[in-house]
A and B are shown apart, each in its own frame.
Chain A
Amino acid sequence: GENVEQHPSTLSVQEGDSAVIKCTYSDSASNYFPWYKQELGKRPQLIIDIRSNVGEKKDQRIAVTLNKTAKHFSLHITETQPEDSAVYFCAASRENRDDKIIFGKGTRLHILP
């Protein structure tokens, strides 16, 4: 079945440094890759997404890259700030087909002062 692997499970970085979270997916029909930030007790919030016709997308301090051939996609957060501390989930889905979102297991990001 479809699967999304996410690494690392926990990540601690010094404030101001960069953080990178990596994911791989198994379903070659996946065409939409959202990233969610979830704070304790709250719903997942979309922070950035990328579709399969694009290799890279950037929004201020956040960027996502996609390698369709290798089925890899990554989240890059630069100049990390304390408010970036949260759990981040990558996901893959077949947008416009069945909308079933397969989530990774999450990365708990700690920003150290």
Chain B
Amino acid sequence: DAGVTQSPTHLIKTRGQHVTLRCSPISGHKSVSWYQQVLGQGPQFIFQYYEKEERGRGNFPDRFSARQFPNYSSELNVNALLLGDSALYLCASSYLDRAGGYTFGSGTRLTVV
């Protein structure tokens, strides 16, 4: 059974550009959460989606948006990229409606130059 898959693995963008990151959860998991991890810090919660609905949002600007598709995969979009958006973006999936913990993907490392 495949784990949480994220794409792309690495990405370099220029300030002001837009980026889309993708995540496929573990089969059976209906909840997907997104986290930003800046070098040297702990992951920070960005969004959580369950059954295609946003269930939680962290303290991030409106330049960050996300959505979840009928197959429970998810996209994270960031507009008007800033240098400070450079980070490892992690996706985690879980059941939500029952215990089972969370599984993280390998992440997408975004570098904004």
Shortest C-beta distance, A84 to chain B (Å), equals 19
Given the interface contacts A43-B90, A43-B105, does A103 sit within 8 Å of B43 by beta carbon?
Answer: yes
Among B79-102, those with CB < 8 Å from A are 90, 92, 94, 96-99, 101-102
What CA separation (Å) do A81 and B52 show in the bound complex? 44
Interface string of B9-36 (1 = CB under 8 A from A): 0000000000000000000000101010
A51 close to B99 (CB less than 8 A)? yes
A43 close to B104 (CB less than 8 A)? yes
Among A87-113, those with CB < 8 Å from B are 89, 93, 95-96, 98-106
Given the interface contacts A43-B104, A43-B107, A44-B90, does A100 sit within 8 Å of B56 by beta carbon?
Answer: yes
A101 close to B33 (CB less than 8 A)? yes
Given the interface contacts A89-B42, A105-B41, does A99 sit within 8 Å of B33 by beta carbon?
Answer: yes
* Interface SS of chain A: loop
A100 close to B99 (CB less than 8 A)? no
Shortest C-beta distance, B46 to chain A (Å), equals 10
Among B29-74, those with CB < 8 Å from A are 31, 33, 35, 41-45, 48, 50, 55-56, 58-59
Given the interface contacts A34-B102, A44-B90, A44-B104, does A101 sit within 8 Å of B96 by beta carbon?
Answer: no
Interface residue from A44, A89, A96, A104 paired with B96 (Cβ < 8 Å): A96
A-B contact pairs, 22 of them (CB 8 A): A1-B59, A44-B43, A44-B104, A46-B101, A46-B102, A46-B103, A51-B99, A93-B102, A95-B99, A96-B96, A96-B97, A96-B98, A99-B31, A99-B48, A99-B94, A99-B102, A100-B33, A100-B45, A100-B56, A101-B92, A101-B102, A105-B41
Extra inter-chain contacts (7) besides given A44-B104, A99-B94, CB under 8 Å: A43-B107, A93-B102, A95-B101, A96-B98, A99-B56, A103-B42, A105-B41
**Sorted from nearest, which 9 A-B pairs have the closest CB atoms?**
A103-B42, A43-B104, A100-B56, A43-B106, A98-B56, A106-B42, A105-B42, A103-B43, A99-B31
Chain B residues within CB distance 8 Å of chain A: 31, 33, 35, 41-45, 48, 50, 55-56, 58-59, 90, 92, 94, 96-99, 101-107
